[in-house]
Amino acid sequence: MAGIYIHIPYCRKACNYCNFHFSTNLKTKSDLIQCLIRQISEDNYVKETDISTIYFGGGTPSLLSSSEINAIMQAIYDNFQIEGNAEITLEANPDDVNIETVKLWKEIGINRISLGVQSFYDEDLSFMNRAHNSLQSKNSIELLQPAFENITIDLIYGSSTTTHEMWRNNIDTAISYAIPHISSYCLTVESKTALANLVKKGQVTMDEQKATEQYDILMNKLTDAGFDHYEISNFGKPGYYSKHNTSYWQNKLYHGFGPGAHSYNGQSRKWNIANNALYIQNMLNGQPYYDEEILSEADQYNEYIMTRLRTHWGIDFGYVLTHFGTKYVKYLKEMVQNINPSLLDSSEHTIKLSKEGKFFADGIASDLFILN
């Protein structure tokens, strides 16, 4: 089984922290969707056609009309075998949610909504340049819940506008709505973003210690509320883990359609041109619309280490032995000896991060990498 990711590169506003590929100019939307559908019908980079998850990401997929989403879905069903209980996720912004859109999304076959709340405080949302307000977030949840059992929301911590009290209230508000899954990310300064420019000018100061403390608050409150902390940034009630994202962390194959989308076929990775006009032009002219990287054995090992260490399943020595051989198992065990034991919760068969280790996940992973 493989997954499908659909990248919809349009937004109403540019959030000040976002470095994903998107455009606020919607003039090319119709042409791009036709090219995206063409890619779905022609692309055979990933040979696996049995599909267990479909994910509409962006950008802001909820900007699409129901007929546009339906056309993409029809193309997928025409070209792939979709599992009967496939998870089909649509990322949505609160300002796009109303009685009509909820009804149409349900009819199209969407069965999971990822809602970009980010904060229940207007001062946070204004600082982030989000297109919605706090009231819209709360109203959208109340509109979605009668139709969708499987809802996840995004929350951002570490903003200069977010006090510890506000952060606790954000988490408590999400819990009060009985949301079964929460993805939470630290506000990070990415290059070529408005936030990076504000920091460079000294107009915004980032407080790493505050962000660390808010991540600790997040872990404590959500685990106390019955959530499984199954990946560094993801918390789910039992039965509500993201199947699509989990497939990435479990090294499964995936198709990526649309500008900026990535695909993985087990031996190599490709990524589509992150430029709407060029993606359309090259698709229409039959020209290459993606770049590709062949993954060496060391690359594949390092990716396994990086992704699995972020999860509560951890690194499995048996998997490393089966897929990479004794040399890699020996190397891994040697490297583990150099890491502070308090950062790991390991056994004879697995390497997992302790709670303290979750604060240093990227650094620990890099210490376990092997050089090409």
Element (H, E) at 83: strand 81-92
Contact 50, 2 (CB under 8 A): yes
Phi-psi region of 314 (alpha: psi -120 to 50; beta: other; left: phi over 0): left
pLDDT at 17: 92
**Can you identify the CATH homologous superfamily of domain 2-248?**
Aldolase class I (3.20.20.70)
What does the block give as tokens for 164?
Answer: 């510890």
Domains 2-248 and 297-368 share a fold: no
User: 305 burial class (0-12, 13-18, 19+ CB within 10 angstroms)?
Assistant: buried
Residues contacting 313, CB < 8 A, separation 6+: 230, 249, 250, 350, 352
Max Cα distance, the chain (Å): 58
CATH for the stretch 297-368: 1.10.10.920
Q: What is the pLDDT of residues 280-315, one digit of tens each?
A: 999 999 999 999 999 999 999 999 999 999 999 999
CA dist., res. 336 & res. 346, Å (int)? 10
Pinpoint the alpha helices (H) of the chain. 29-42, 66-79, 99-108, 122-128, 134-144, 164-176, 194-200, 208-224, 243-249, 276-285, 297-309, 317-324, 326-336, 361-368
Q: Can you read off the two tokens belonging to residue 165?
A: 């009290």
| Residue 371 pLDDT | 85
- For residue 337, CA distances in Å to 47, 308, 343, 367 come to 40, 19, 12, 11
Alpha carbon distance, N-terminus to C-terminus of the chain: 30
List the structure tokens of 24: 């606020």
Q: Domain locations in the chain?
A: 2-248, 297-368
**What torsion do the CA atoms of 117, 118, 119, 120 make, to the nearest 10 degrees?**
0
Among the listed residues 219, 254, 367, 234, the one whose alpha carbon sits nearest the alpha carbon of residue 313: 234
- Report residues of the chain scoring pLDDT below 50: none
Question: 344: how many CB neighbours lie within 10 A of its CB?
Answer: 20
Q: What pLDDT is attached to residue 261? A: 98
pLDDT confidence of residue 56: 98
Compute the CA torsion angle 125, 131, 134, 138 (nearest 10 deg). Answer: -140
Report the C-alpha gap between 349 and 117 in whole angstroms: 39
In b/e form, how buried is each residue of 50-87, taking b as 16+ CB within 10 angstroms? Answer: ebbbbbbbbbbbbbbeeebbebbbebbeebbebeeebb
DSSP helix, strand, coil percent of the chain (3-state; round to 5): 45, 20, 35
